[in-house]
């Protein structure tokens, strides 16, 4: 039967600290530490765990136990980082819409004035010809 991979396995801070403390106290190499805690059989598995131990050791030596207590985000990204939209494009859209509405308003006002004048001319012509105004 095929062995299931341990992808994304989470380790407790206590476990991480105990592995690193044991490694440092007993002066174990990374390979020895991996074999002791994970009982690996292939080089590939060993390499993966060696990298994990190396990361934990680096964090422990630079930040102490508190560094291993923190939750960290993985280096691998599942997608592009989301950026908050800036207000500038929205502001530009509002300015453009405002300009368009002002131009439309001016056009409608001119059209309205034209129709009023046309209606006045028609009434004057009808009055002149003796037709009854509407």
Pair 56, 99 in one domain: no
Alpha carbon distance 17, 67 (integer Å): 10
Segments of the chain with pLDDT less than 50? 1-4
CA distances from 127 to 113, 114, 119 (A): 21, 20, 12
Pair 91, 63 in one domain: no
Is 96 within a domain?
Answer: yes
Pair 62, 96 in one domain: no
**Confidence at residue 6, expressed as pLDDT on a 0 to 100 scale:** 53
Domain count for the chain:
2
Pair 59, 93 in one domain: no
Alpha carbon distance 34, 46 (integer Å): 7
Whole-prediction pTM? 0.49
SS3 content of the chain, % helix, strand, coil (to 5): 65, 0, 35
Q: Which range of residues forms the domain containing residue 65?
A: 13-69
Q: Which tokens go with 10?
A: 């989470």
Is 74 within a domain?
Answer: no
Is 7 within a domain?
Answer: no
């Amino acid at each position: 039967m095929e062995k299931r991979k341990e992808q994304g396995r989470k380790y407790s801070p206590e476990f991480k600290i105990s592995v690193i403390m044991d490694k440092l106290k007993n002066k174990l190499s990374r390979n020895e530490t991996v074999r002791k805690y994970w009982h690996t059989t292939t080089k590939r598995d060993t390499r993966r765990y060696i990298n994990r131990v190396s990361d934990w050791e680096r964090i422990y030596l630079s930040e102490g136990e508190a560094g291993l207590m923190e939750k960290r985000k993985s280096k691998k990204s599942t997608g592009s980082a989301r950026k908050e939209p800036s207000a500038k494009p929205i502001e530009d859209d509002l300015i453009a819409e405002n300009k368009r509405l002002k131009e439309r308003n001016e056009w409608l006002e001119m059209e309205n004035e034209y129709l009023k004048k046309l209606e006045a001319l028609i009434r004057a012509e009808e009055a002149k010809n003796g037709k009854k105004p509407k």
